[in-house]
A and B are shown apart, each in its own frame.
Chain A
Amino acid sequence: MFYMDFWTAFAFVGTLLLVVINAILVMRMDVDIHEEGEGDGGKGPKGDEQLCRTTQA
């Protein structure tokens, strides 16, 4: 089989199958991302100052 045994061939074919399965899974998923400029209800920390403070407000 492809000059090699089944389990050796599986490493190659299996990898390619996996990426296809992954693509199908992701296309069916709901992906929700917080975008920059979107409000956080006023609850989150603000701006560059966050990094430069030793404690969060």
Chain B
Amino acid sequence: MEYLAKNWLILSLIFVYVSVCLWIGWFFKQKASKGVKEYYIAKREIPGWVVSLAFFSTFISTNTYIGQAGFSFRAGLSWAWIGLIWTVFCMMTWLVLGPRMRNQTAYLNSVTIPDYFDFRYKSSLSKAIRVLSAVVIIFATIFYMAGIAKGCAHVLKSVLDVPYEWGAFLIIFITCAYTVWGGMYSVLWTDAVQGIMMFFVAILMFAIPFMYLGGIDPVMSRVAMTDHISRTGQPIGDGLVTFCALVSFAYILGIGVSVGMKQLAEPRCLIRFYSIDNAKSMRFAMIWTPVFLGISMVCVMGLGALIHSMATPEEAAFLIKNTDQAVGFMLAKFDSPLTSGIVMAGLFAAGMSSLASVMLIVGTAFIGDIWNLFKPLSPEKTVTWTKNMIWLYCILIFVVTIRPPAGIVEMTAFAGAVFAASFFPAIFGGLYLRWGTGHAAFWSMVIGMVSCVLYREVLRMKIPALRDIHEIFPAFVLSFVAYILISLMTQSKLPPKEHLALVFGDHRKKQP
């Protein structure tokens, strides 16, 4: 009873939020189950504002609101450059990939990213690319999902004293339920609700230090000159407000680019383009997605630095070594159950929006892109088996979450680099280069993956000078160069001209 009396407000807010998500899933259950196009991509009938919020909420996860926000406690306000870099990549993704991807996937009747590779390139290696990309998705997603579930379970433990295993169970299987019921309809509409929550929670979190101390000047004067000590034992002084005084720009660039590039290459982001209904919606999303992302990141990325204004020297000395706890510390110090409840709901929204997207992607990859190639199923059975596969995969994720392997955070970041290095050339080439071939797409994918692994394990970890150069840079360059060179060497393997005319929409181009 004492527990309920203490936590009723937070529990109520979370209960309302979870109920809304489950209701959305249930609402779309029948509609989503009508066919593969409905279940996998919501039949391309989703308005732009929903897709825009969904893209934002699926890309940004709890890792950003806790991990990245907390890290600026150590790195200072310069950490906000990460937000700028991510916003640039968001703009690039929508400007460069959005409309083309939406059109080509419609012409080809593609419903997944792996099948796009298959249908676009139409070569003897098309099926191999499809299976390979599906395998990469299934494997890489294990670590990503476990990492998010782990973060959310820790939040539940620290704020509501829910045992870690129970927290992991609830996060994973509540998300699984509404995802399985409503397919892509459910994923997009819950993502939109979660995106709205995340946007306002980012602004709220940013406001907390100013509300705590009663204004801009009390906060900023403490941040601009502090007697707190850095992790190396030196006085921080004005380091929090001086460009790259506490962290190198190379490091900022590495994290900014390696994570930001995921928007250009990860299926959970790119699949959003499939569902947009028309040009007006696309234009809306192209404008507003960077707005949602940019403003949220301006609020979140420098938050840790502002938290210095709320901390004593002893508290700062602890937090500088445990930056993941900075946001929790801020909420505890502010001591407002209503604010904590709203922020908690926002943090779960951030985690669950990302989880739902990748759950569906894994189900479609396994059944749609692998199983169906060897033992074709009817459309009805495809949907049913996709649902079953999502449940099974979630059981695996739960087991990995409660027994996480060492270095799960590093593996998650590494998996993202593999996506960017291996998928992007094949996607960009598919959308823009008529002379791009299936052989180039396949081998660039292989080279991207292999060079990522080799650079990281053989070079980066062993040569100090390369420590700050993330594996994504060399792997991406090698993969892209391979795509171009192999395309030029395999021009005899191009698909028929009629197929390319269809893919590039020649039948829709206006006559002069």
A interface list, Cβ under 8 A from B: 2-8, 11-12, 14-16, 18-19, 22-23, 25-27, 29, 31-36, 40-41, 43-54, 56
A residues near B241, Cβ cutoff 8 Å: 3-5, 8
Q: How far is the CA of A47 from the CA of B90 in the complex (A)?
A: 31
B494 touches A (CB below 8 Å): no
A residues near B229, Cβ cutoff 8 Å: none
Which B residues from 44 to 66 make CB contacts under 8 A with A?
Answer: 44-45
B residues near A12, Cβ cutoff 8 Å: 80, 298, 302
Which B residues from 100 to 134 make CB contacts under 8 A with A?
Answer: 102-103, 106-109, 111-112, 115, 119, 122, 127
B505 lies within 8 A of A34 (CB): yes
Which of B88, B95, B107, B382 has the largest count of A CB atoms less than 10 A from its CB? Answer: B107
B379 lies within 8 A of A48 (CB): yes
Q: How far is the CA of A22 from the CA of B382 in the complex (A)?
A: 40
B298 lies within 8 A of A52 (CB): no
B residues near A32, Cβ cutoff 8 Å: 99, 103, 279, 508
B interface list, Cβ under 8 A from A: 35-37, 40, 43-45, 76-78, 80-81, 83-84, 87-88, 91, 95, 99, 102-103, 106-109, 111-112, 115, 119, 122, 127, 220-221, 223-224, 241-244, 276-279, 281-283, 286-287, 290-291, 294-295, 297-298, 301-302, 368, 372-374, 376-379, 382, 498, 501-502, 505, 507-508
B residues near A41, Cβ cutoff 8 Å: 502, 507
12 contacts between A and B (CB under 8 A): A8-B241, A8-B243, A11-B80, A15-B297, A31-B279, A32-B279, A34-B107, A36-B43, A40-B107, A43-B498, A46-B109, A48-B382
Q: Within the complex, what minimum Cβ distance (angstroms) separates B375 from chain A?
A: 9
Write the chain B residue with the least CB distance to A30. B279
B residues near A2, Cβ cutoff 8 Å: 220
Q: Within the complex, what minimum Cβ distance (angstroms) separates A43 from chain B?
A: 5
The 9 closest A-B pairs by CB, nearest first: A4-B241, A11-B80, A7-B243, A48-B379, A3-B220, A33-B279, A41-B507, A19-B294, A48-B36
B297 lies within 8 A of A34 (CB): no
Write the chain A residue with the least CB distance to B110. A50
B294 lies within 8 A of A16 (CB): yes
A25-B77 contact given A3-B241, A19-B87, A35-B278, CB 8 Å threshold: no
B residues near A47, Cβ cutoff 8 Å: 37, 109
Q: Within the complex, what minimum Cβ distance (angstroms) separates B415 from chain A?
A: 26
B286 lies within 8 A of A26 (CB): yes
Q: How far is the CA of A38 from the CA of B93 in the complex (A)?
A: 25
A52 lies within 8 A of B377 (CB): yes
B287 lies within 8 A of A27 (CB): yes
